[in-house]
Structure 1
């Protein structure tokens, strides 16, 4: 039987009466799961903490939920969460040993869960104002592809010779109870820093951001980072994800009961570089936000406009060992 792909963007169905992954009918009061997994919220006391949505409304971490069929949750999401939780408990080496696809699926569920909640809030707000809900076609295109790829968790959907993501995993000398989560929905970029690690995933760039930062990655190697170094790398990736100017396109190839996703070349017929021009002042603004904990201001960061402040590399372009950074972690 051919794979049947569910696309909620075809009908803009973001009702709590339909499973967010499969579209099947669910009980809206009983069949819902947390966007932030329970194990993560308990570990870092997140449940009652405020979470601001894009429309400026405030909810809590525990109230971010998506409708999900009980069988889908029990068969696919619960085992994935258990495997991820066990690996995160053990630390960097165990997470590094995980199948990358599982990390992608876990992050995709996270980000798509955020998208689902943002869509619900946006639809509710615009309807309350007597307006039709509007969203750009390019964003719909991107979000629907992410949802398609997330269905690799419950259907025989395979990526044909490519990775749809860029994944960065580092050892980080974090404080014991530190937890930092960030996402950027428009660029589908996700990061989390906890225990002895930091993880960044660009969910739909076909590996372009990893290639863009390869020279710096080679200098870092497998050396541990100071938290400020990880946040610096994070800022670089979040900014480059913003500069990435292609909309990845895919061919869907049904083969028997399986579906293969084939990536079209990113360059296509366009001779323009894949990334727009890097502007240090704009990057400095991003970095200032990522460095809030340490209090560095934009004026300090771009004191030399040609060479913004940084802790990853020294003046000679060599990697700075985390132990040589005297800031408080």
Structure 2
């Protein structure tokens, strides 16, 4: 038997290559350790270099090297310095197997990405997005919750549930270890055309850890992804809202849609259960998902929606304008969970920069 089960539950091949990381090994070696996040090698075992959280070609294309990302603690960090350790071998492999192909597809046009998905590229895009999401969380291990060094503080990532990322880690390693991934393992993935309303920025991103959701706005395209819902959020969004979006969205509407995806995922009454099936004799790794027969949502939590919108719109307060409405009324509307910059009070898509609150 070429594959061996380690004492921690991981599976390794005859050369010591980790085929499958157990949750325990993933948390110990990757999340709390300093091993390569793909192969699990230690820095003293192989040459290491720095892997950008957002790939270099993306930073070049959207002129992000000198710009800053806002961390969960409010601190700003240059994109050029937003990196995680990775062994040189895996870094090169990611470039060849993932980044080269995705960089040729991401040209800022929604049609290019839609055509890529229609021609079977969904898993590749899902893996690419998952790698960014994973690296974002691993990088937060290095930042203090309280930036002021005089104040005792833990790290931002101390609050993360690493078990939630184990599934993502298992999926995104499919370019490193041949893996069969059943279709229903895929999460929600949606691309919408996006317009610029008074903002020169062609790039934006946002994410919710507990909603396992991320949004990337790249030029005229906005990409939304949920990593652990087996498309549950997308189904409910399609049933209730997608058809009402009759034109390109703006940057704030993109953030509201991402919030809706996260909320839908968090409100699923029964969650998908993911499992790795490992055929030791035939050396085959397959990821499967077990789904409820009839997906349902729990009772909607408007207070949670309000808090999430407040968080996701915080950066834009200086630019937000609501004609004839006081700031206090805007605040109450947001925290009450009823505000929408996507639809007006009659449920019609808002196709301009003017938003109304009743």
Structure 2 length-normalised TM? 0.73
Q: The residue matched to 1:89 in structure 2 has which SS?
A: coil
2:135 pairs with 1:118? no
Task: Report the equivalent of 1:300.
Answer: 330
Residue 258 (str. 1) matches residue 284 (str. 2): yes
Select the structure with the greater relative contact order (CA < 8 A; seq sep ≥ 6): 1
Aligned residues: 317
CA-atom RMSD in angstroms: 3.9
Q: Displacement, 1:200?
A: 1.0
Q: Within 2, Cα distance between the matches of 1:259 and 1:83? A: 24
| Residue ranges of structure 1 left out of the alignment (5+ in a row) | none
CA contact (8 A) 1:9 1:144 kept: yes
Greater alpha carbon shift after TM alignment, 295-304 vs 95-104: 295-304
Deviations 1:28-48 (A, max 9, x none): 884221111112222333223
1:231 to 248, 255, 260: 255
Partner Cα distance (2:142, 2:335) in 1: 42
CA distance in 2, matches of 1:310, 1:94: 29
2:300 paired residue among 258, 265, 277: 277
1:189-221: CA deviations, max 9, x gaps?
A: 111112111111111122121122122344147
**Structure 2: 5+ residue stretches without partners:** 4-10, 12-18
Give secondary structure in 1 for the equivalent of 2:240.
helix
The alpha carbon displacement at 1:311 in A equals 4.7
2:165 to 143, 154, 168: 143
Q: 1:298 and 1:112, CA in 2 relative to 1: closer, same or farther beyond 3 A?
A: farther
Rounded Cα–Cα distance in structure 2 between residues aligned with 1:119 and 1:267: 38
Separation (CA, whole Å) in 1 of partners of 2:205 and 2:334: 30
Matched, 1:20 2:49: no
Q: Matches of 1:108 and 1:298 in 2, distance apart?
A: 38
Cα distance in 1 for residues equivalent to 2:250 and 2:168: 32
Q: Could you say what secondary structure the match of 1:11 adopts? A: helix
The answer to whether the 8 A contact 1:243-1:275 is kept is yes
Residue in structure 1 matched with residue 227 of structure 2 by the alignment? 203
2:15 aligns with none
